[in-house]
A and B are shown apart, each in its own frame.
Chain A
Amino acid sequence: MKTLHSVLFCAILCFGQLWSNSNASTDVLVTDLKVRGNEVAARVNKLQGEAGTTSSNPPRKERMRYSMGWSGPMGRKLDLIRNVMRRREAEDDHGDSHDDSLGVHFPVRDLYYTIIFLVAIYVGGRLAEIVGTPALAGEIIVGIALGPPAADFVPIEEALVLFGDIGLVMLILEAGIDIDLAQLKATGSRALVMAMVGIAVPLLIGYGLGSAAGLGFEAAFAVGACFAPTSLGVAAKALNAGNLLNR
């Protein structure tokens, strides 16, 4: 009976320790439980030895070892406690679960900030239109200001860039669909010359500036390549905003 009381007392202590140390790491707590479990086992053995039951009642001792061991009922209880503690650790201050086995989750704060960012993009675009510039100028400025290079306000920026890249794929896809072959044939030679000049001149200027700044071939070429392309998306949106697209 004393043994049972000791075990229960220690179990209560363990639970109390667990719940009062919810911020401690699981491993530390489990180690603590193991130590306490071993202390209980030693105390039980001592009591049994004093009572002269060690040698006379080996099955009971074996049962106790089994009970306190990690494969026994106590071990299973400790496993249960460990799982609960892991679950508790997976929860942040907002109560959001991050346990991978329960699916993909994220803090509400990230969701909230992302919505604010999306609203800011929209508002930035509208403000840019109000002051007479294309909306994309405002959208880019908001991206620069709130993105990782400056304020670093945006959570999970990779996800947004991924969606942006999907937008780019759709933009290029639409550019392909929108091609007016008859128009392209009519303006083809002039457009080709303009495109070649439009690529070559900025490329050479960028390369020259890069070389003048002491950059190697690769870096200077990369600088030139940054200057070279004229984005169809930017040009089309700017022309459309100025009602010049179909003139």
Chain B
Amino acid sequence: MGQLIVATCIIDDIIGLVLLSEVEALVNPTPWNFIAPILSAFGFLIVLGWSAVTWMPKVIEHKYLAYFNEENREDAAFGLMVALLLGYLPLLYATKASYLMGAFLAGLTFSQIGVVHSSFVHNTEATMSWLVRIFFATTIGFQVPVKYFEKAEVIRSVYPSY
């Protein structure tokens, strides 16, 4: 059940990232601004997503990591993942898809490479737990406009909806 919910959340996140691009297009709502994020997001999902689960893991594991000694492979894989992340983020942002999808696709590329997950956890666990705490408290918490909750307009129109 938990894995089904997680799988659902992953697909939900992918759709949500497309939706996020659509919301950003509302700033300048022209037809092209609505269509471009969908085309870009699904285009990259098909091309990079397909590559990430088919040929790229094999190339990375058998060609790239084979160059390194056993003890250096974790670092080499981690370095390549960061390089891919730094490449995908601006690429997807520039093409009007969400940069978060770039992060997702960079991670997906390494989902079948065993050493990466342990390396990622080993290198980032403590830092990430704090960054995620800060994310929930600031990126989410700071955006809640609590001062508007007591406004008559909000009380009149929003609270009855709940």
Measuring CB to CB, which residues of chain A are less than 8 angstroms from any residue of chain B?
117-118, 121-122, 124-125, 135-136, 139-144, 147-150, 154, 157, 160-161, 163-181, 183-184, 187-188, 190-192, 194-196, 198-199, 203, 209, 213, 218, 221-222, 225, 228-233, 235-236, 239, 244-247
Contact = CB atoms under 8 A, between A and B. Distances in A.
Contact of B11 (A164, A195, A231, A236): A195
Nearest to B121: A174
Interface string B85-106: 1000100000000011001111
B126 interface: no
Contacts of B135: 163-165, 167-168, 171, 233
A246 to B, nearest CB: 6
Contacts of B105: 176
A172 B107 contact: yes
Contact of A164 (B99, B100, B131, B158): B131
Interface centre among A124, A175, A180, A184, by most chain B C-beta atoms within 10 angstroms, is: A175
A121 B6 contact: no
Contacts of A233: 132, 135
B48 to A, nearest CB: 11
Interface stretch (B35-43, B62-70, B140-148): B140-148
A190 B13 contact: no
Given A140-B137, A171-B135, A244-B2, A194 B8 contact: yes
Nearest to B99: A169
Contact of B158 (A163, A169, A213): A213
A53 B140 CA distance: 79
Nearest to B153: A213
B134 interface: yes
Q: Please provide the 4 A-B residue pairs with the shortest distance between their CB atoms, ordered closest to farther.
A: A143-B141, A176-B107, A167-B131, A229-B16
A41 B113 CA distance: 81
Contact of A173 (B2, B29, B85): B85
A166 B13 CA distance: 17
Nearest to B82: A173
Contact of B111 (A150, A181, A190, A231): A181
- Interface residues on chain B, size class: 35 or more
A116 to B, nearest CB: 13
B9 interface: yes
A244 B23 CA distance: 32
17 contacts: A136-B136, A139-B141, A141-B141, A157-B138, A163-B134, A167-B135, A168-B139, A170-B131, A176-B106, A177-B110, A179-B107, A187-B4, A188-B7, A195-B11, A230-B12, A232-B6, A246-B2
Contact of A199 (B15, B29, B100, B143): B15
Contacts of A135: 133
A121 B137 contact: yes
A131 B145 CA distance: 25
Nearest to B127: A170
Given A150-B146, A173-B107, A181-B111, A187 B12 contact: no
Given A169-B100, A199-B16, A247-B2, A222 B26 contact: yes
Given A140-B140, A218-B26, A190 B19 contact: no
